Amino acid sequence: MPLPRRQTERGFFMVTVNGEPLADAAGQNLLTFLQQRKTPVDNVVVELNGTIIHRPEYEETLIKPNDKLELISFVGGGR
């Protein structure tokens, strides 16, 4: 019986997203990943392993196993 697609192509490698482990993100590019999460791309900044990824680089940036992603947005706040 063939392995599930996800397992063969990406393996069961964990990625950490905003401090939480996530099983199935590795192998995706950032743009697809954000779109699937329904993250508004106009209100997110992505830090990958401590480095900011600029918006035009989302599509060419592949998420690798053990990557640490921080997805940060503007929220209400002020005094």
Spatial neighbors of 6 by CB under 8 A, at least 6 apart, are 24
Q: How many CB atoms lie within 10 A of CB 79?
A: 2
- Options 3-11, 24-32, 46-54, 59-67: segment touching another protein (CB under 8 A): 46-54
Residue 28 interacts with another protein (CB under 8 A)? no
Residue 62 interacts with another protein (CB under 8 A)? no
Of 59, 9, 5, the residue nearest 31 (C-alpha): 59
Residue 5 interacts with another protein (CB under 8 A)? no
The residues of the shown chain that bind another protein, judged by CB under 8 A, are: 18-19, 37-40, 42-45, 47, 52, 54, 70-79
